[in-house]
Amino acid sequence: MSDTKTAYKSASELSEETRNALGALLLALADNKRLLGIRYSDWILGAPSVEAGIACSAMAQDEWGHGRIVYSMLKDFGFDPHHLEHEREAEEYHSAGVLDSDGTSWPELIALNFLLDTALTVQFETLHESRFEPIHYKVRKLLDEERFHFEHGRGWTARLAETEAGREALAEAFGNAWTSCLAWFGPDDDAIATVLATEGIVSGDAAATRGRWLARVGPVLSAAGMDLAREDADGWVSDAEPNWSAWSTERRRVSTGGPDEDTLARVRGDRNRSLLID
């Protein structure tokens, strides 16, 4: 533990405000993991090489496993895991807008791999020494598996940046995903992040966590010739600013929309609903 404050052994020991805030964060993490796994699976057979397809298969399985673990934790926060995984409508998903529909190019997948996957990992890192003890072991195991995801995204970003055509494709794909990923942490005064940071549930508020993410991805983007982030005296920053006017703190996205019809059917397992086993 990073301090001497009392550790929480279960969700019932949290205040109502803290319990609701942590439940919202965990649901957002689980939903993003679930849908990101879908996006990785889209490229198992369509990746540029057999090895890349195998990597997508492994990362898809990791994400689905991580999502399932977090969904199972939400039972202690008053959620029904079966409902969360299989019965919600699109507007009930707390997933980033960049995951709403499938991409059409390998650089778009790499943008998700390097930007969004890393954003989720950075958020999980803030829970590594959380006062909420039930998450400790789960986070350690998850972070071990996520190291490969970062290296995969970094490697392909550098590889594609070696040619002019690759740099152009990266610039378009990363530019389209950038604002959604930048915004995922919430505004600097995000109520959920502030409550959790104050209570020692996470190790940083929205601004600090976003800064950690920028420091992780910024050097790689700069080396690849993309000007999405820059380093100044205070560290890595982005000149882009999300439009917070339609932002939903709980959903960690704009308040409207959600996964498209095809994605929703896949993520809920609609085609094999009769075979579902609790």
Query: What is residue 105's predicted lDDT score, i.e. its pLDDT?
Result: 96
Query: What is residue 274's predicted lDDT score, i.e. its pLDDT?
Result: 58
- Checking phi first, is residue 257 left (phi over 0); if not, alpha (psi -120 to 50) or beta? left
Query: What is residue 120's predicted lDDT score, i.e. its pLDDT?
Result: 98
Q: Is 193 exposed, middle or buried (0-12, 13-18, 19+ CB in 10 A)?
A: buried
How far apart, in Å, are the Cα atoms of 218 and each of 55, 127, 231? Answer: 24, 22, 8
* H-helix or E-strand spanning residue 223: helix 206-223
Half-sphere exposure of 138 (CA within 13 A, CB side): 19
* Euclidean distance between CA atoms 262 and 278, whole angstroms: 23
> Does the CA dihedral 220-111-32-86 come out positive or negative?
negative
* Euclidean distance between CA atoms 180 and 253, whole angstroms: 8
Residue with tokens 């999405």: 228
Closest CA to 166 of 100, 116, 111: 111
Q: Is 72 exposed, middle or buried (0-12, 13-18, 19+ CB in 10 A)?
A: middle
Helix, strand, coil abundance in the chain, percent, nearest 5: 65, 5, 30
CB neighbour burial string for 211-250, b if at least 16 within 10 angstroms, e if fewer: bbbbebbbebbeebebebbeeeeeebbbeeebeeeebebb
* Euclidean distance between CA atoms 273 and 251, whole angstroms: 26
This prediction has a pTM of 0.94
Query: What is residue 136's predicted lDDT score, i.e. its pLDDT?
Result: 87
Mean pLDDT by 10 residues, the chain (278 residues): 72 97 98 98 95 97 95 95 92 96 96 98 96 91 94 98 97 96 96 97 96 98 96 94 93 94 94 63
Residue 141 near residue 62, CB atoms below 8 Å: no
- C-alpha angle 224-239-192 in degrees, rounded to nearest 5: 110
What CATH number was assigned to the domain covering residues 12-275? 1.20.1260.10
